[in-house]
């Protein structure tokens, strides 16, 4: 099992929406609840993930999933 950061998907959301963050060959990508795609720097990803990890927003959940194969695009 390879444990590099291109093998993980970070899901952040509430009961009404979920956003996905993952790394592909080009860099970090955010997929919004509406399906829009946004390129992000690693610092921007941390700015989105850290409040959820620190439980600063009470109804926000965070989940990390491992994938066996990295994204192809």
40-72 per-position pLDDT tens digit: 999 999 998 898 888 888 888 899 999 887 666
Region class of 27: left (phi > 0), else alpha (psi between -120 and 50), else beta = left
Whole-model pTM? 0.84
Domain-wise residue ranges, the chain:
5-65
**What is the reported pLDDT for 73?**
58
4-54 per-position pLDDT tens digit: 888 999 999 988 999 999 998 899 999 999 999 999 999 999 998 898 888
**What is the reported pLDDT for 60?**
87
Residue with tokens 């690693």, as numbered in its chain:
42
Measured CA to CA in angstroms, residue 29 lies from 2, 53, 60, 68 at distances of 20, 19, 20, 18
């Amino acid at each position: 099992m390879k444990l590099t950061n291109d093998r993980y998907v970070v899901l952040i959301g509430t009961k009404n929406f979920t956003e996905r963050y993952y790394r592909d060959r080009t860099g970090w990508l955010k997929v919004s609840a509406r399906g829009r795609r946004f390129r992000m720097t690693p610092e921007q990803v941390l700015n989105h993930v850290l409040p959820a990890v620190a439980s600063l927003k009470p109804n926000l959940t965070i989940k990390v999933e491992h994938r066996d194969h990295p994204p192809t695009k």
